[in-house]
Amino acid sequence: MTIKKTRKLRGLLRKLVRLLSSEETESGYSCGLTFTQCHCLLEIGEKESTTIAELSDSLKLDKSTLSRTVESLASQRLIQKREHPDDRRFKILRLTAKGESVRREIDARADERFRRALKAIPNESREPMLEYLAVLVRSLNDKGQHS
């Protein structure tokens, strides 16, 4: 790939990240949560239960940032922390009923936004676009191991 194409890809991805992060805040589908809180809630809900270490790995955030975020979500009664049955140093994180309700609201709002976005893409291009996006995510997640 040429440097020109590489930079075009980087530029498009930067714009996409900015659009997505500002969209979550401005459109209200983050339900008043910060970008990081919103993603923590979604990730915990998707896994049903997790630890800070697993969440840190999934979200690519350092544990200290994540610990503050988790404390904030717990103080809002959106998640609960329980001792890990095998290792008391770890806490199991789960959504509370309130957290699950907020997660469902975030999902519903985000689903609607992305349904509208997909409508702007021609039918025959949607599936290949999703496949290419999945390839790009896997490639970026490999951390350049296949350079």
CATH value at residue 58: 1.10.10.10
Domain membership of residue 127 (yes or no) is no
In a domain, 10, yes or no: no
Separation between Cα atoms, residue 117 and residue 121, nearest integer Å? 7
Q: Is residue 1 part of a domain?
A: no
Report the percent of the chain where pLDDT is more than 90. 51
Domain count for the chain: 1
117 lies in a domain? yes
CB 108: neighbour CB atoms within 10 A?
11
Q: Report yes or no: 80 and 74 within 8 Å, Cβ to Cβ.
A: yes
pLDDT for 23 beyond 70: no
Confirm whether 57 is domain-assigned: yes
Domain with 73, as residue range(s), is 17-121
- pLDDT tier at 46, thresholds 50, 70, 90: very high
Which pLDDT does position 76 carry in this prediction? Answer: 95
Residue 5 lies in a domain: no
Tokens of 12: 């498009």
How confident is the model over 51-73, as pLDDT tens digits? 998 999 999 899 888 999 999 99
The Cβ-side half-sphere exposure at 119, using a 13 Å CA radius, reads 6
Answer whether residue 144 shows pLDDT above 80: no
Query: 11 pLDDT exceeds 90?
Result: yes
Does some domain include residue 128?
no
Length of the chain as a residue count: 147
Q: What is the mean pLDDT of residues 97-124?
A: 91
With 90 as the cut, is the pLDDT of residue 8 above it? yes
